[in-house]
Amino acid sequence: MPLLPLCPTTDIADGEGKRVDSPEGAFAVFNLGGEFFVLDNTCTHGPGNLGDGYVENEEVECDFHQGRFSIRTGAATAAPCIDPVRVWDVVIQDGHICIDPKAGHYAV
């Protein structure tokens, strides 16, 4: 499966996230100390956008009801979120954050 490039690594500062819309759907991309992580953009609790959420302590706070998820594992870490969010293994290719769009999985 060809990799799907989401955005250049330089688009996301350390400790921040970004929503990226692609032909394969919307993803939330994060930079934690120069390590990049990709989650489904849509919160498992409702219509919130995780890519637009607030990043703190390696967690993202949903912009809709302020539930939280671990950016590393996708685990729900604060109510009202209960179900984990899907995560994607990241490959950096030519300075771009890429994923295999068929290989999303639940790490927890």
For residues 67 and 98, which CB has a smaller minimum distance to ligand FES in the complex?
A: 67
Q: Give least dist CB 83 to ligand FES, A.
A: 11
Asked whether 29 and 7 are in contact (CB, 8 A), the reply is yes
CA distance 60 to 51: 8
Q: Which is nearer to ligand FES, 6 or 62 (CB)?
A: 62
For residue 29, give Cα distances in angstroms to 16, 78: 9, 20
Cα end-to-end distance, the chain, whole Å: 24
The residues binding ligand FES (CB under 6 A) are: 43, 45-48, 62, 64-65, 67, 80-81
- For residue 30, the minimal CB distance to ligand FES (Å) is 16
Please confirm whether the linkage preceding 101 is cis (ω < 30° from 0): no
Minimum Å gap between C-beta 91 and ligand FES is: 28
In the complex, the smallest distance separating the C-beta of residue 102 from ligand FES, rounded to whole angstroms, is 25
Alpha-carbon distance of 82 to 98, in angstroms, equals: 27
Is the Cβ of residue 54 or residue 108 nearer to ligand FES in the bound state?
A: 54
